[in-house]
Structure 1
């Protein structure tokens, strides 16, 4: 062997040998099957439902188990195995099992791990293994003998794992590896925050994922704005939190003391029906509800005043008609809009001055300064928003697909809407890039409150030209204070009609440099499945995956969310039923039985070479070939 090695190295220097080996490796990897991508949108703080979808991978694990164990496990046994994988901490940890039961569970988990990891390189699989079990797992996954010549050897491994009381820990490790290998990459298409109680836990989960991306949603942007110095965004964050009664998120999870706001609100406001918190459980006392009600009023009025400041200093936003506090009559009983008078209900304008309705009182200013400083001092909140800004984007081009949360503002004629800011005009992709830069600039300097970049973050929340809002006006004021439903209607941007047309979608993809072979993925607007609306639009070029994961939307959509799966064989959308609780899911084996609607069935199985990573590997291989003038 030494003679042969010396002959090889004499004819090929070590650098060239390494490069040639790397060419072989790079080109071989490109032939592997494309890894599975998982798309989720509009999770809105619903951590348990989000976590359940991640754990069962939108039903993929169930399908893998059905394929592998179809003739060996009953349906009930397959369910049991599924939930051992979904929730190993609850189903496996502390379980009392016999030697035979542990043997059976470990055997099934090893076999499934081998099955779901088979399309990855050994190097990638090895990197995912915990170091303490790396040797054992490699033996079980890669040295498996189909002829059972090593049956006693494998039996000895399992027996010793059980004898040493490692079965529980080893089984949990295998369950986690299975979930890791079933889905290679997660895309979250916006709106982590608001409505649900635990966006913080969702972000904690995302921060632990080895491969993920997300596109910022409008509800994420107001939290970024709050941490960027936009007092209007901060007030909006607080108003929405009060609206849904999630004080624990502020006080317990982020350490924000709201006592100054509570004292101010108790002094100036009395409970009103329009400001009662929504969706709160029976454990909340009436006194607690009334306190939230008062704070809800106080912060709403502060929000409307702060928004007026932005509108007046930014005429380019063209939002003067949204200066609603100037549309109140002197007695505060009537709202005068476009020559029509509307009676005010549940008015709470006692702190709005007639001569300057947008002036903050000293008390209101102290409340906002206190809350802003607390937001910046919250270490956990700062980590979460840092993560959003660093890892998030307004749009993403990935594997020939275009992902963004809301829309690209358009005119009714189908042209991209052109907007002017600071003397420059933007439309299409350039507008998205301009907004992206504004977010980065604003976040870098949170102590400057009235610059254009910071005001643009607020504009992205509610401006007509926002790619995240996608409507002409936000009618928050009218919804609180009037009963006329016509005033509540928020007209959508023409994009939402245009996206049903395939030619428009192809034009949109071309704007971002795509050839139209992939598809566009949106969230933001709940698909009303209950009325027959289809999430797949424009002959499969547009997919909308907001199906109402957030509980408040489910009465409108009729389901509890869509997710999208893109694997080497096909692209399909999965609809979900409402999720009750983790405990209910575990106790009753509540699982996702995928209701699939195929978006695209591949004639030929997709390979790594068909992906962005594959193209990068190909470029690396070609560069090495050019170095040695290889064909």
Structure 2
């Protein structure tokens, strides 16, 4: 036996010091391999829509309703099933309504408890007792375990369970127990959650989504471009900070910054009242600003314009400093002719400006911040870097996230893989070196992490700047368009200048040879693997399908974000991968929690099988299963070492 092997087995012997303990663990792991594969839940492009996200999380994209169907089949009416599903999603709210109409609450409690217990039994059956025990709510763990575990030694099982249920009701614990069971079902129905990016921007409550994810039992996150720009802001990158503030103002979401994260907007508000006091800023009206009064709207427009101009200055300076970004065409302020009120774009065409009032621009040095702008950005930078709640949320993105994930044979990322028009991987320059394919993803992620963890100031700075690049660059795998036409959309009427041409990935994702090469690049089997991504809304109303290349590519951004729903025709796609296969779910727009409870509406509108397994998948077929098989082989080696006397038992 080699020294390294012996040293490893000696370390393993510290955990399993006897033949008996090693043997027991082998038996335990072998039994786990034969359990059904846990259910994976995929969600993408949440864009701050916490209420809709929370509802889909509670219903498991239809997984809860499927469990109800599995348990009760035709023995319950559709109305009863719908009512039971609503109770599982919102137990407290549903019981408050039931109490207003139900005459015999004791009987209702008893029926409901038995139904929930049966669903718990089914959902728990695919896990080990140890894993179920860890999921049980502390206050009711023992009682629930008694109710969902078959007890062969009890002769009169019905009387035994009746006595427990009756006692729960008699001591006034029925409601709390029902809540505990409902939350346990939600917990057990989904084994692992995948968030494929863009938690932030547009919607009103990304911070609530992050709070919820911080408490979720098992998840991974693939960063979206909107997430990365918030990460850059949290690291103090000023172009990212200006972008985050501008987006928040644009969508009428300053509450996220001020109330959600406690970031003070007073310095910006004070600055604009002087610098833009004579500027009506008409083209900078906020979207969704119906909750603001006239004075707030006026101030909002001034703040909107001021931070946009600051952003364009910071970005222009950034791309001029980093020639390797190849984005100098995005430095536009020096192309403005203030006398004529026009701008000449890099293509040589001249366009009139919708707004030619730039009180803070020195036309000899258009990218220099004024003293007032510098003060605003310094205070904002300090606020972002020192916000404990934001830093905790970003830490979750770093701990649980990355630019891509390979999980159970599937490749997950938010945006795209940079490709040439012929389908080959595009070489992209990052700080003087060329990267492509998986290597490009890896080096970009490395630089992001350096912004937060490196001890070298220069490496930190490179990491901060690369996050802005990931947000906006044509060669970024998370943006994947020819340009980010923010300036043009504000200042130029001609819609042809607003076009953001999608990268080759979105034209080639129906090409099987190209898709197979992408899967191989990340070490996956093209015959079994799938690419799952978000980022680009699927226009279902125009007949577009989220399933590409005969099911090898699945796009699950259908439009959680409300502004998208007018053009997509739906309110999001999600994906479920259970032991039977991959199922795509389309969702209707979510109205409110109160409506969902009162009308017992669910927003799952359609479920379609993307890939159906010829046999039920087991834990042994998963990444976890492969790791368990390796551990079993190591333990078998340890047993052999014990039995041949190479290692001595420690009894």
TM-score of the two chains, using structure 2 as the length reference: 0.92
Q: How far apart are residue 133 of structure 1 and its match?
A: 2.1
User: Does 1:513 pair with 2:558?
Assistant: no
Deviations 1:541-591 (A, max 9, x none): 110000001001111211100000000012110000111111111111111
CA distance in 1, matches of 2:577, 2:228: 28
Q: Residues 94 and 145 (structure 1 numbering): CA distance in 2 closer, same or farther, change over 3 Å?
A: farther
Structure 1, 323-332 or 305-314: larger mean CA deviation: 323-332
Render the CA deviation track for 1:217-255: whole Å, top value 9, x for unaligned: 000011110122210000000000010011111111111
* 2:619 counterpart residue number: 608
Deviations 1:336-380 (A, max 9, x none): 122221110033422111101101000000000011111122211
SS in 1 for 2:337: coil
Q: Is the 8 A contact 1:229 1:448 kept in 2?
A: no
Measured in 2, the distance between the counterparts of 1:179 and 1:627 equals 39
CA contact (8 A) 2:438 2:522 kept: yes
The answer on whether the counterparts of 2:97 and 2:598 sit within 8 Å (CA) in structure 1 is no
Distance, in Å, in 2 between the alignment partners of 1:51 and 1:148 is: 43
More moved, 417-426 vs 404-413:
417-426
CA displacement at 1:538 relative to structure 2? 0.9
Residue 48 (structure 1) aligns with: 51
- Identify which of 286, 300, 306 aligns with 1:298: 306
TM superposition shift of 1:158 = 0.7
Matches for 1:8-19 after TM superposition, within 5 Å? 15-19=18-22
5+ unaligned residues in a row in structure 2: which ranges?
A: 1-15, 642-651
**Local SS of the residue matching 1:598:** strand
The alpha-carbon distance between structure 1 residues 108 and 146, as it changes in their structure 2 partners (threshold 3 A), is farther
Task: Give the C-alpha shift of residue 390 in structure 1.
Answer: 2.1
Deviation string, structure 1 residues 55-81 (Cα, Å, up to 9, x no partner): 111111112212322333222221211
Quote the Cα distance in structure 2 between the aligned partners of 1:348 and 1:14: 77
Q: 1:57 aligns with which of 55, 60, 80?
A: 60
Quote the Cα distance in structure 2 between the aligned partners of 1:89 and 1:348.
55
1:551 aligns with 2:579: no
Query: Residues 411 and 261 (structure 1 numbering): CA distance in 2 closer, same or farther, change over 3 Å?
Result: same
CA distance in 1, matches of 2:453, 2:638: 43
What is the TM-score with the length of structure 1 in the denominator?
A: 0.95
2: distance between equivalents of 1:420 and 1:111?
Answer: 58
Match of 2:297 among 289, 292, 305: 289
| 1:324-339 correspondence to structure 2 within 5 Å | 324-331=332-339, 333-337=341-345, 338-339=347-348
Distance 1:42 1:447 in 2: 34
Unaligned ranges ≥5, structure 1:
1-12
Work out which of the residue numbers 232, 239, 243 in structure 1 matches 2:239: 232
Secondary structure at the counterpart of residue 471 of structure 2: helix
Please state whether the residue corresponding to 1:533 is helix, strand or coil: coil
- The match for 2:461 is 451
Please report how far the alpha carbon of residue 518 of structure 1 lies from its aligned counterpart in structure 2 after TM superposition: 1.5
Q: Match for residue 27 of structure 1?
A: 30
Aligned length: 617
The equivalent residue for 2:398 is: 389
Whole-angstrom CA distance in 1 between matches of 2:356 and 2:626: 60
The RMSD of aligned alpha carbons is 1.9
Q: Do the aligned partners of 1:56 and 1:592 also contact (CA within 8 Å) in 2?
A: no
Q: What is the CA–CA distance in structure 1 between the aligned matches of 2:216 and 2:98, rounded to whole Å?
A: 27
Asked if residue 245 in structure 1 is aligned to residue 252 in structure 2, the reply is: yes
Q: How does 1:366-515 map to 2 (within 5 A)?
A: 366-444=375-453, 451-515=461-525
Q: How big is the shift at 1:309?
A: 1.0
Q: 1:202 aligns with which of 209, 229, 237?
A: 209
Q: Indicate yes or no: 2:324 matched with 1:321.
A: no
Paired residues of 1:229 and 1:446 also in contact (CA < 8 A): no
> What corresponds to 2:3 in structure 1?
none
Q: 1:601 to 1:94 in 2, by over 3 A?
A: closer
- The answer for the alignment partner of 1:307 in structure 2 is 315
Q: Is the 8 A contact 2:154 2:160 kept in 1?
A: no
Partner SS, residue 451 of structure 1: helix
Distance 1:344 1:121 in 2: 66
CA contact (8 A) 2:197 2:222 kept: yes
Distance 1:404 1:303 in 2: 28
In structure 1, the residue matched to 2:11 is none
